[in-house]
Amino acid sequence: MKKLLVILVLTLLSSKAIAFNSPTLTASEVVRSQDSRPKGLAFNNDGTKFYLTSSIAEEINVYDLTTAWDLTTAVHKCAEPHWTTGNVNARHIAFSADGTYMFVVRGGIGDNTDYVYRYLLSAPFDVCDGYTRGSGSNSSYVLGGSNFINIDSQQDEANGLAFSPDGKNMYITGTEDASIDQYTLATAWDLTTAVHGGSFGFEDSSGETVPFNATFNYDGTKMWMTGWTKDLIFEYDLSTAWDVTTATLFGEIAGAFVGWDDGPSAFVFSPDASKIFVLGSTDDKVSEFKLYCTYGIVACQDPSSDKDDVASVESQTESAKQLIQHTTYPVLNRMEWLRRNNNSRNLTNQNIKFQFSNEILASLSNLIQPTYLSSNNSSSAELQSGNWSYWSEGTVSIGKIGDSLTSSAKNINTTAITIGADKITDSGKIFGAALRFGNDDIDFGNVKNSLGIDTISITLYETRPHGESKFIDSLIGIGAFKTDIINAVGSSSTEGKRDGKQIFSSFKVREKFKKNGLNITPKITLDLGFTSLSDYSEKGSTNLKFDRQNIGTIITSIGGAVDSSSNLRNGTFKPYFEYDYFLDISPSSKQKISYISDTSSTYTLTNINSSTHNFKSKLGFDYITDAGWDITSSYQRTQSKENGYSDALYFGANYISLRNAEYAMSLNNKKAFLDYKRNVNGFDIKFGSNYNLMSKIPDYGANIEVSSRF
């Protein structure tokens, strides 16, 4: 599914900020009968439980949700005293990622009274089971002697507690200097390894003197804080992820969504950031709000400023362009191979039977598959007009584009197979057709974002001589592809499917010179193409809509090739080297994006491809044996002037039997195949076998066929 060779220079042109739909209250759960003046709120990972702490009730209250993340299904389950350790005045609660540890922050007034405690749970997120109230013992959770730290030197009257998802960063919010302190944990979730790493004061930026709690988005680039003095929720940008010392105020929203509660003390986002749950310590209730965009408390984020969204658009745009080059490379390689080996008696590059899981591709490949072509491709046949030759080329490409100010890093993997057929005319022109099937996998960002692109294309080509040493190669083709898009949001994700169609052409002019036994071939190439990407909408919460996108491609290159030929005992060895400089002068491509909740407002991401410079080098060889084997292989590196690159390995092989018996072999999709054919006394005897190399369950077979023609 999921290639990029060229770095985009992105100019992000965003329309004016979209009209913001404030969060909508959808449900509330009054907890006054269980807890008065609650301070801390937490959920388990799947949203089927939530937990409250209080400095007054001195207990943990647990609620079950029969429908995940739906407060209307909340039922109180238990109230758990946890003060056998002397841990009174609990302000907030948090859990490790796997739920095996529970953390409680104690906020005292005075010296040496502020602590963070870690409890080991007998089962993930299980605070209730196994406890008998008032017994003085607790079999549900245990506090170890070293499972706490004193934070009094940094905070007086600590209120809030938060962790990064990996458990290696801890944050304490408190009234000491109205600040948040960050700690680095050398060992995840181990309080004894915590080292203070700086703080950030809220008062100067927000005016809040009694901050209660802070929370973060999934990648640590956003922080939200609520407090007692202002009764507001404040949003901060972090220029360095998870580093609160880099925070700057982005905006605020009043009264935890105006008129709801004047004492918001804690809040939690759902994993997909489509909901927020706010704890009010004045009305003693937990309320559920629907967000119209991801983390949309203060404002909806401009997608063109989100590095992962930019990387997704960039990857789709550039992969569409590079698909043209990935499609034309094997065909151009074939035409160069033909000219390097124009005195060969066998111009076939493949006689391998390829197996495709795709039924359409399988049927197409069968149409052009030269399973047995002894009459046209035997070693005794002279190269002559009207004879069809067949070829194939496999491609494995690995590339990477580094992180930039506007876009996330990308890891790129391409696999493809091209099958073709061509023949020579009386005038020396060679023309043919090729079928390509490819799969691109692109991973981008710090979380599991990915693109999977399945492609198919058909190309018509010709190489035409002009004189004895000059050749003009040209091709035209059409292609179609399907893209699966995954954008991760915390532990959740959105999904999208997008179709694409393209038409492309390429022209190359080459002229060969001979000097000191070397063939020197300067060349000029022009690649043209047009791609149309369909519109699509992400499936999931707070999702985006992407309009139809048109992508033009104009890439020109200048370079050369050097090759030679050596006669060996059992064949001919022909090494070669190529070098090209590419200039991408493609026109700009605009991608319009909107939130499904508000399609009237649009963001525009513009990809500017002005004078993008790239360099390609290629080293390879052809080896033609007297026994009927033709092998070609090459390694190719494409490097952008910036920091993007792609490595590709090409391999093609052919075997033609020199006897009356004919063979065909292949290794594909973890299966090995062998076909054998021989004519005995006018009867064609055909034997076929297959074997799955990786299957734990036996998967093999054989067949025999006898036929004759009358």
Please spell the DSSP secondary structure of 296-346, one letter per residue.
-SS----GGG-HHHHHHHHHHHHHHHHHHHHHHHHHHHHHHHHHHTTT-S-
The C-alpha torsion from 666 through 669 and 671 to 676, rounded to 10°, is -30
Task: Specify the pLDDT at position 495.
Answer: 87
Q: Which of 225-239, 376-390, 457-471 has the lowest mean pLDDT?
A: 376-390
* Greater model confidence, 528 or 152: 528
The C-alpha torsion from 39 through 45 and 49 to 55, rounded to 10°, is -20
In 3D space, the residue among 75, 103, 101 whose CA is nearest the CA of residue 90 turns out to be 103
pLDDT band at 610 (very low <50, low <70, confident <90, very high): very low
Does pTM top 0.75 for this prediction?
no
The CA distance from 649 to 487, in Å, is: 30
The CA distance from 683 to 685, in Å, is: 6
Half-sphere exposure of residue 212, counting CA atoms within 13 Å on the CB side? Answer: 30
* Greater model confidence, 657 or 132: 657
Q: What token pair was written down for 692?
A: 């799955």
The CA distance from 315 to 485, in Å, is: 11
Note the pLDDT tens digit of each residue in 579-589: 999 888 888 88
pLDDT band at 99 (very low <50, low <70, confident <90, very high): very high
In 3D space, the residue among 654, 644, 705, 701 whose CA is nearest the CA of residue 679 turns out to be 705
Q: Is residue 5 pLDDT above 50, yes or no?
A: no
The CA distance from 206 to 200, in Å, is: 12
The mean pLDDT of the chain is: 77
* Greater model confidence, 569 or 339: 569
Highest mean pLDDT range out of 107-116, 182-191, 383-392, 677-686? Answer: 182-191
Q: Which of 95-104, 344-353, 369-378, 432-441 has the lowest mean pLDDT?
A: 369-378
Highest mean pLDDT range out of 279-288, 389-398, 535-544, 591-600? Answer: 279-288
Note the pLDDT tens digit of each residue in 213-268: 999 998 898 999 988 888 888 999 999 999 999 999 998 876 545 456 667 888 99
Q: Which of 103-117, 167-181, 468-482 has the lowest mean pLDDT?
A: 103-117
* Greater model confidence, 411 or 501: 501
The CA distance from 285 to 38, in Å, is: 8
**Distant-in-sequence, close-in-space partners of 66: CB < 8 Å, separation ≥ 6:** 48, 73, 75
Task: Specify the pLDDT at position 262.
Answer: 67
Ramachandran bin of 110, using left for φ above 0, alpha for ψ from -120 to 50, beta for the remaining angles: left
- Contact assessment for residue 189 and residue 146, using Cβ atoms and an 8 Å cutoff: no
In 3D space, the residue among 173, 254, 289, 166 whose CA is nearest the CA of residue 218 turns out to be 166
* Greater model confidence, 590 or 15: 590
Highest mean pLDDT range out of 292-301, 432-441, 526-535? Answer: 526-535
- Contact assessment for residue 201 and residue 177, using Cβ atoms and an 8 Å cutoff: yes
Which residues does residue 103 pair with via DSSP β-bridges, in sequence order? 94, 118
Residue 366: other Cβ atoms inside 10 A: 12
Which residues does residue 236 pair with via DSSP β-bridges, in sequence order? 223, 249
The CA distance from 342 to 430, in Å, is: 11
* Greater model confidence, 96 or 307: 96
pLDDT band at 608 (very low <50, low <70, confident <90, very high): low
Q: Tell me the CA distances in angstroms from 11 to 8, 407, 424, 590, one per residue in order.
A: 9, 11, 48, 10
Highest mean pLDDT range out of 273-282, 330-339, 489-498, 527-536? Answer: 527-536
Task: Specify the pLDDT at position 60.
Answer: 86
The CA distance from 2 to 397, in Å, is: 12
Q: Which amino acid is at 83?
A: W
Q: Is residue 675 pLDDT above 70, yes or no?
A: no
Note the pLDDT tens digit of each residue in 168-196: 999 999 988 899 999 999 999 999 899 99
* Greater model confidence, 371 or 41: 41
Q: Tell me the CA distances in angstroms from 487 to 45, 162, 309, 494, 543, one per residue in order.
A: 19, 25, 8, 5, 10
What is the layout of strands, in order, in the sheet containing 115-121?
90-95, 101-106, 115-121, 141-150
In 3D space, the residue among 217, 275, 260 whose CA is nearest the CA of residue 71 turns out to be 275
In 3D space, the residue among 203, 114, 211 whose CA is nearest the CA of residue 153 turns out to be 114
The CA distance from 590 to 585, in Å, is: 15
